């Protein structure tokens, strides 16, 4: 960018919100006189070679200009948003002598000094050791997404700190972006390192060349992608259209990608995809239009599945007529979908799987989806499981989805030394899977299967874990919270609030830049920084290009805020383990020196040059790389095996009938050896067929939000002027939109802009009615992550529209002592009712 | 000669980056003499006009960026009693913030509604095409520079490349007679859509012919249903009445209805039956 004002300084900052030291492209920030003047999209330097996916239809590449999301471009608004924390705060009625846990969420806060804050922390940790005998009474919640500099904003240092102190209880982040694939599809095809989704190595080479139809199912590349990687999803959708691929969206909502890119929208009720898939399978079996040979050589257990589909097992043939009543898709559409899927080279496209993969019994949906894909010859040209993915990690085995040098993926950006705490099974012996944390606090002991970490062997789902792990364990007495968003982003946030306010919890520490969500219930709050307030490295490795960029501090830290890293370093120093946290400059330099870039320049040179984006291979080099690494796109290698034994499953084959489940849980009715359509059961009663539906006749569908990344960015005044971001009520409050079809709205006397209450037995949230044709009748839709703004804590009424507050727990009927076999997160597809709210009835408590 | 802005509506995916970066540039930044800061909220010097079209399941969303049209026949200019609004030689229309006395007559005069009032500063404000940047050598205003789909192009109207685009483009509301310098390609035309099925065996009917006859102009628009029985008649005209007829070999032809395109139309499921 040319400008004549030499007083303007250009700084690069991280432009991603994944956290975990993984960023999209940077933003270019122009600073003058100590303030940010403007924020521009990054431009990949002209000398960098971009990738080109070469097909017979032409070459596909990306523009040089980065495509950050609107809320990333507006991120500077968060530096001084009204909720920004500037100083350490202590709850006015909390003291070591008088803790008043019942007032959490209601009391105000008083400013204290950093010295006093650290004193309190140090003394509380000492007290925990004295009173309870072990620091395992401290629960560390440090696995959330966040700002994505390499070092300073990583939500993880609590694990490292308390590990060095000698023990703690780890909150293990369950695979929230993959739930059904993890708890279900892994049993069909393995892919542990890819969290239950088939590998995406060089996938675009096949999709763009051979695919004729993409079924978008839990797929909105115009939404979630931007927060992680920039809106590269929009570029990929352009490739798909240019390649002449038909897009059919199967979803309860017409999502943002489907609204502009889809050729057809098939509305389907939440949680009923299994019924649709079964009817498709039925049609193929009856019409003999599936890959019989592949099913014979590459799959295990098809005969049992066939019996189930034809109704020979339960007397219910899974016909299109049967499915229509359940899922709402017309019979003729089901039949045509089946025939087109068989005839055209069809792949299933997801971006993490959306609401479909995060509903009740989504394990069964994912398994049945894997089976129907198998029936058409998974890995045949154009027949893949396609993720719209862009990086090597968590998605590929040997090479990236797009042309990239493997050494760039391996060594291009620095690893963060604490990353394993978030993704790998805990080394700590005391841990709780995140979905069961409220129960573990309120009603221990809790037993469940599988450590639940994102990377975990499938077999671990047959291992039972218990919290507390031993009899003398004191339970959870103190909470160290770097996440700030359990209440807004996990299921049944009201239960977590109950746990946070429990008298069992002596002390809650919250570390975050803003007063939002979980922080409302903290006793001590430490103000963290935004990415504008410290030097760091931007690890450009969560997008379609790889590089690293030196992040210059743009502005002075706001108030007395310190970075997450510095906060933990300060605490560590006071506790005598400061050596574990090297000075930031040193940590960054050491990290840089491990990278490929360091082979060509020194640390000082990098700080001057600022931008390193690695070249991509030429199309010829890419062919050579694929040859060298013996890579064929996606699952092509598997399809080409004469006998399909090559998967990480016990038989090596696609296990339609899961041998592992048959061995360990042969009588499990809710995740049986042969998957089935599962509307309800012991764990969940969220079906329209259930008696609860008489009181709560609507299905709530919830997705990754369009205008935030989960809970991040709900306080940006400019995005809140966008109609699908917030709906302004008559009271002037900006409500979270509640999408409702005109038929359902009319029945309830609801018009666009009305304030509505969304509720079930678990509680209620308010929203602004967004009356739209983009959602099916019988279904309502509210994105998760809106900032929790309680009107009544005891009355469980929230004004912010924090919908996950009322989402179901992993097991509805769990009692103490009962094990939870599939502790899945269930944040979409559950029963609610909606009614218009009278403003006079709204009262703020306390 | 002069600047023109060409926007391809077919490319716009509703990312809203243009609307946001306009605020990034003009909130809390004083670009006098071009413009004073706009308030934090309430102004949309560039605004996305989001239109949801059709009914379930035949629904599309169209996004149209609306900004000052920098008209050659701008009614705001003569409306201003202070002569605060002027047109530059490159076609850009600006409001001089020093001369504006807050009378709001320009807001009333503008048929596009793209002038906003700043109550704190008591002045009228609008898009400046980021001339404070262009005059310093920037190639593009902020909105163009942030567009994820590169759907917006700023150029010189004499440039042959731009001329080719202008041939395919139109202005919004030409009937206002203001001669805008902002052009749009692929402005939405109404669609009439539906699905053809055979209810006797519950099958989608592929290959049915759907004809929409313009009842005034007589023009016939024809399309064929796809494998899902779906059809979308596009490139129709707003506020026209069309007779919709469907036919397929082996089935009785059907006069479905007369459709009036004051909005996009989903005719729903159209059943064809075999003749007796």
Q: Report the distance separating Cα A673 and Cα A148, nearest Å.
A: 41
H helices present in A190-249, as ranges: 203-210, 224-229, 232-242
Residue A158's pLDDT is 95
Choosing among A68, A257, A259, which should be mutated to test the B contact, i.e. which has the most B CBs within 10 A? Answer: A259
Residue A465's pLDDT is 96
Query: What percent of chain A has pLDDT above 70?
Result: 99
Closest-CA residue in chain B for A262?
B60
With 70 as the cut, is the pLDDT of residue B65 above it? yes
Q: Inter-chain contact B24–A73, Cβ cutoff 8 Å?
A: yes
Alpha-carbon torsion, ordered A802, A803, A809, A810, to 10 deg: -110
pLDDT tens for each residue of A797-817 = 999 999 999 999 999 988 888
Largest interatomic CA distance in chain A: 79
Mean pLDDT of A616-641: 98
> Given A38, A226, A722, which is nearest B24 (Cβ)?
A38
pLDDT category of residue A843 using cuts at 50, 70 and 90: low
Residue B152 backbone zone (phi > 0: left; psi -120 to 50: alpha; other: beta)? beta
Under 8 Å between Cβ of A322 and A187 = no
With 50 as the cut, is the pLDDT of residue A846 above it? no
B-chain residues within 8 Å CB-CB of A718? 19-20, 23, 27, 40-41
Q: Report the distance separating Cα A384 and Cα A368, nearest Å.
A: 15
With 90 as the cut, is the pLDDT of residue A4 above it? no
Query: What percent of chain B has pLDDT above 70?
Result: 100
Residue B201's pLDDT is 96
pLDDT tens for each residue of A11-57 = 999 999 999 999 999 999 999 999 999 999 999 999 999 999 999 99
Closest-CA residue in chain B for A75?
B24
Mean pLDDT of A255-281: 97
Counting Cα atoms < 13 Å in the Cβ hemisphere of A266 gives 28
Residue A839's pLDDT is 77
Q: Inter-chain contact A238–B44, Cβ cutoff 8 Å?
A: no
| Residue A404 per-residue DSSP state | -
Closest-CA residue to A357 (of A367, A372, A371, A347): A367
Residue A817's pLDDT is 80
Which residues 228-247 of chain B have a CB within 8 Å of chain A?
228-230
CA torsion sign for A758, B16, A550, A399 is: positive
Q: Is A501 helix (H, G, I), strand (E, B) or coil?
A: coil
Q: Inter-chain contact A336–B149, Cβ cutoff 8 Å?
A: no
State the smallest CA–CA distance between residue B220 and chain A in angstroms: 24
Under 8 Å between Cβ of A148 and A542 = yes
Q: Report the distance separating Cα A646 and Cα A654, nearest Å.
A: 9
Q: Where are the beta strands (DSSP E) in chain B?
A: 3-8, 46-55, 58-67, 85-87, 93-95, 116-118, 123-125, 152-156, 169-170, 182-185, 192-198, 203-204, 209-214, 220-224, 230-233, 241-247, 254-260, 265-271
Closest-CA residue to B74 (of B217, B180, B216): B180
CA torsion sign for B158, B162, B165, B169 is: negative
Q: Report the distance separating Cα A304 and Cα A701, nearest Å.
A: 32
Strand partners, A781: A701, A739
Choosing among A32, A230, A260, A342, which should be mutated to test the B contact, i.e. which has the most B CBs within 10 A? Answer: A260
Q: Are strands A737-740 and B3-8 parallel, antiparallel or unpaired?
A: unpaired
Residue A845's pLDDT is 45
Q: Euclidean distance between the first and final Cα of chain B, in Å?
A: 68
pLDDT tens for each residue of A89-127 = 999 999 999 999 999 999 999 999 999 999 999 999 999
pLDDT tens for each residue of A182-218 = 999 999 999 999 999 999 999 999 999 999 999 999 9
A-chain residues within 8 Å CB-CB of B54? 773
pLDDT category of residue A2 using cuts at 50, 70 and 90: very low
A-chain residues within 8 Å CB-CB of B25? 38
Q: Inter-chain contact B24–A74, Cβ cutoff 8 Å?
A: yes
Q: Report the distance separating Cα A504 and Cα A48, nearest Å.
A: 57
Mean pLDDT of B251-275: 97
A-chain residues within 8 Å CB-CB of B227? 336, 339-340
Beta carbons within 8 Å of B135's beta carbon, 6+ residues apart: none
State the smallest CA–CA distance between residue B215 and chain A in angstroms: 29
Under 8 Å between Cβ of A459 and A118 = no
Return the number of CB contacts < 8 Å for A and B: 141
B-chain residues within 8 Å CB-CB of A247? none
Question: CB of B50 within 8 Å of any CB in chain A?
Answer: yes
* Phi, psi (degrees; rounded to nearest 5) at A77: -65, -20
Residue A1's pLDDT is 39
pLDDT tens for each residue of A528-560 = 999 999 999 999 999 999 999 999 999 999 999
ipTM: 0.97
Q: Inter-chain contact A264–B25, Cβ cutoff 8 Å?
A: no
Counting Cα atoms < 13 Å in the Cβ hemisphere of A318 gives 28
Residue A3's pLDDT is 46
State the smallest CA–CA distance between residue A319 and chain B in angstroms: 13
What is the 3-state secondary structure of B167-195? HCEECCCHHHCCCCCEEEECCCCCCEEEE
Q: Inter-chain contact A774–B61, Cβ cutoff 8 Å?
A: yes
Peptide bond preceding B33 in cis form (omega within 30 of 0) = yes
With 80 as the cut, is the pLDDT of residue A634 above it? yes
Question: CB of B59 within 8 Å of any CB in chain A?
Answer: yes
Question: CB of B196 within 8 Å of any CB in chain A?
Answer: no
Mean pLDDT of B133-156: 97
Q: Report the distance separating Cα A572 and Cα A580, nearest Å.
A: 8
With 50 as the cut, is the pLDDT of residue A655 above it? yes
Mean pLDDT of B238-255: 97
* Phi, psi (degrees; rounded to nearest 5) at A752: -55, 135
State the smallest CA–CA distance between residue B35 and chain A in angstroms: 15
A-chain residues within 8 Å CB-CB of B150? 63, 65
Question: CB of B9 within 8 Å of any CB in chain A?
Answer: no
Mean pLDDT of A772-796: 97
> Given B24, B40, B228, which is nearest A717 (Cβ)?
B40
User: Considering the entire predicted model, what is its pTM?
Assistant: 0.97
pLDDT category of residue A741 using cuts at 50, 70 and 90: very high
pLDDT tens for each residue of A323-372 = 999 999 999 999 999 999 999 999 999 998 889 999 999 999 999 999 99
Residue where the block lists tokens 């890119």: A261
Largest interatomic CA distance in chain B: 80
Which residues 137-166 of chain B have a CB within 8 Å of chain A?
137-138, 142, 145-146, 148-150
A467: its two tokens = 């919290």
Residue A309's pLDDT is 98
Residue A807's pLDDT is 97
- Burial (CB count within 10 angstroms: exposed 0-12, middle 13-18, buried 19+), residue A574: middle
A-chain residues within 8 Å CB-CB of B57? 254, 264-267
CA torsion sign for A185, A191, A195, A198 is: negative
Residue A818's pLDDT is 87
Residue A844's pLDDT is 52
Residue where the block lists tokens 């299994």: A274
Residue A494's pLDDT is 98
A-chain residues within 8 Å CB-CB of B229? 332, 336
Closest-CA residue in chain A for B228?
A336
Q: Report the distance separating Cα A548 and Cα B225, nearest Å.
A: 51
Under 8 Å between Cβ of A770 and A736 = no
Residue A419's pLDDT is 79
H helices present in A133-202, as ranges: 157-165, 179-180, 186-189
Peptide bond preceding B195 in cis form (omega within 30 of 0) = no
CA torsion sign for A185, A189, A194, A195 is: positive
Q: Inter-chain contact A773–B15, Cβ cutoff 8 Å?
A: no
Residue where the block lists tokens 């090297």: A582
């Amino acid at each position: 960018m040319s400008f004549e004002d030499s007083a303007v300084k250009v700084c690069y900052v991280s432009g991603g919100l994944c956290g975990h030291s993984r960023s999209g492209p940077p933003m270019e920030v122009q600073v003058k006189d100590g303030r940010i003047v403007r924020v521009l999209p990054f431009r990949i330097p002209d000398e960098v070679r971009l990738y080109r996916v070469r097909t017979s239809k032409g070459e596909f590449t990306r523009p040089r200009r980065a495509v950050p999301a609107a809320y990333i471009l507006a991120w500077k608004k968060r530096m001084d948003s009204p909720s920004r924390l500037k100083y350490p705060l202590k709850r006015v009625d909390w003291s070591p002598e008088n803790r008043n846990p019942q007032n959490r969420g209601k009391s105000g806060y008083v400013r204290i000094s950093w010295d006093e804050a650290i004193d309190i922390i140090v003394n509380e940790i000492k007290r925990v050791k004295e009173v309870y005998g072990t620091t395992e009474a401290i629960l560390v919640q440090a696995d959330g997404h966040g700002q994505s500099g390499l070092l300073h904003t990583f939500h993880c240092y609590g694990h490292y700190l308390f590990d060095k102190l000698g023990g703690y209880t780890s909150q293990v982040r369950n695979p929230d972006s993959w739930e059904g694939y993890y708890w279900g599809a892994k049993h069909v095809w393995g892919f542990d390192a890819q969290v239950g989704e088939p590998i995406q190595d060089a996938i675009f080479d096949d999709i763009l060349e051979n695919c004729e139809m993409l079924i978008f199912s839990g797929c909105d590349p115009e939404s979630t992608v931007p927060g992680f990687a920039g809106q590269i999803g929009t570029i990929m959708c352009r490739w798909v259209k240019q390649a002449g691929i038909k897009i059919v969206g199967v979803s309860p909502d017409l999502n943002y990608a489907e609204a502009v890119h889809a050729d057809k929208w098939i509305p389907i009720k939440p949680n009923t995809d299994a019924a649709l898939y079964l009817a498709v399978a039925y049609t193929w079996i009856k019409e003999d239009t599936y890959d019989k040979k592949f099913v014979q050589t590459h799959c295990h257990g098809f005969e049992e599945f066939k019996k189930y589909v034809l109704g020979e097992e339960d007397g219910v043939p899974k016909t299109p007529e049967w499915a229509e009543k359940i899922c709402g898709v017309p019979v003729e559409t089901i039949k045509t979908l089946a025939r087109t899927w068989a005839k055209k080279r069809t792949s299933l496209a997801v971006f993490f799987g959306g609401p479909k993969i995060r509903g009740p019994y989504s394990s069964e949906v994912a398994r049945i989806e894997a089976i129907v894909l198998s029936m058409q010859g998974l890995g045949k040209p154009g027949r893949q499981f396609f993720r719209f993915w862009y990086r090597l990690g968590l998605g590929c085995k040997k090479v990236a989805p797009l042309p990239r040098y493997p050494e760039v993926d391996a060594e291009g950006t620095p690893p963060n030394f604490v990353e394993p705490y978030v993704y790998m099974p805990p080394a700590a012996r005391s841990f709780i899977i995140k979905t069961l944390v409220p129960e573990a606090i309120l009603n221990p002991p809790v037993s469940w299967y599988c450590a639940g970490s994102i990377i975990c062997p499938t077999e671990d789902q047959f291992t039972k874990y218990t919290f507390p792990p031993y009899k003398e364990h004191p339970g959870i007495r103190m909470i160290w919270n770097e996440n700030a968003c359990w209440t807004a982003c996990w299921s049944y946030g009201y239960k977590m609030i109950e746990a946070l306010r429990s008298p069992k919890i002596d002390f809650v520490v919250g570390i975050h830049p803003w007063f939002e969500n979980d922080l409302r219930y903290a006793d001590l709050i430490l103000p963290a920084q935004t990415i504008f307030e410290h030097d760091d490295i931007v690890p450009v490795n969560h997008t379609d290009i790889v590089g690293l960029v030196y992040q210059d501090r743009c502005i002075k830290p706001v108030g007395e805020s310190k970075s997450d890293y510095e906060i933990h370093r300060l605490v560590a120093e006071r506790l005598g383990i400061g050596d574990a946290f090297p000075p930031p400059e040193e940590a960054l330099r050491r990290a840089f020196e491990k990278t490929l870039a360091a082979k060509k320049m020194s640390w000082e040179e990098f700080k001057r040059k600022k931008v390193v984006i690695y070249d991509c291979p030429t199309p010829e080099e890419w062919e050579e790389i694929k040859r060298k690494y013996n890579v064929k796109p996606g699952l092509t290698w598997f399809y080409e095996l004469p006998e399909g034994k090559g998967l990480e499953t016990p038989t090596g084959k696609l296990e339609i009938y899961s041998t592992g489940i048959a061995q360990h849980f042969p009588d499990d009715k809710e995740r049986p050896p042969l998957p089935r359509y599962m509307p309800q059961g012991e764990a969940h009663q969220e079906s329209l067929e259930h008696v609860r539906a008489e009181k709560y006749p609507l299905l709530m569908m919830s997705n990754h939000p369009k205008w935030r990344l989960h809970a991040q960015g709900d306080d940006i005044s400019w995005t809140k002027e966008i109609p699908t971001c917030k709906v302004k009520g008559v009271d002037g409050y900006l409500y979270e939109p509640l999408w409702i079809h005109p038929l359902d709205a009319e029945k309830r006397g609801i018009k666009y802009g009305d304030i509505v209450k969304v509720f079930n037995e678990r509680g209620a949230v308010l929203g602004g009615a967004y009356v739209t044709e983009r959602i099916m009748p019988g279904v309502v839709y509210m994105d998760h992550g809106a900032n929790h703004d309680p009107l009544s804590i005891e009355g469980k009424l929230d004004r912010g529209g924090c919908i996950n507050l009322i989402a179901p727990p992993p097991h509805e009927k769990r009692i103490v002592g009962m094990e939870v076999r599939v502790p899945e997160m269930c944040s979409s597809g559950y029963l609610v009712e909606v009614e218009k709210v009278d403003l006079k009835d709204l009262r703020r408590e306390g | 000669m002069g600047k023109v802005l060409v926007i391809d509506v077919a490319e716009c995916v509703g990312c809203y980056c243009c609307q946001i970066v306009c605020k990034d540039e003009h909130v809390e930044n004083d670009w006098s003499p071009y413009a004073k800061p706009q308030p934090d909220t309430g102004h949309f010097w560039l605004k996305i006009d989001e239109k949801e079209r059709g009914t379930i399941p035949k629904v599309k969303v169209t996004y149209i960026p609306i900004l000052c049209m920098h008209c050659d026949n701008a009614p705001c200019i003569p409306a201003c009693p202070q002569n605060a609004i002027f047109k530059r030689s490159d076609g850009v229309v600006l409001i001089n913030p020093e001369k504006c006395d807050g009378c709001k007559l320009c807001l009333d005069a503008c048929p596009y509604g793209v002038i906003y009032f700043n109550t704190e500063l008591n002045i009228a404000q609008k898009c400046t095409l980021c001339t404070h940047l262009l005059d310093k050598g920037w190639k593009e205003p902020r909105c163009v520079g942030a567009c994820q789909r590169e759907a917006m192009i700023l150029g010189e109207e004499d440039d042959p490349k731009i001329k080719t685009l202008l041939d395919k483009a139109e202005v919004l509301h030409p009937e206002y007679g203001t001669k805008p310098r902002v052009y749009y390609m692929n402005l939405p035309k109404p669609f009439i859509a539906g699905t053809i099925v055979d209810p006797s065996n519950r099958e989608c009917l592929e290959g049915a012919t759907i004809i929409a006859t313009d009842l005034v102009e007589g023009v016939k628009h024809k399309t064929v249903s796809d494998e899902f029985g779906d059809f979308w008649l596009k490139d129709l005209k707003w506020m026209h009445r069309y007779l919709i007829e469907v036919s397929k070999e082996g089935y009785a032809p059907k006069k479905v209805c007369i459709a009036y395109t004051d909005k996009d139309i989903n005719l729903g499921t159209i059943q064809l039956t075999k003749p007796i």
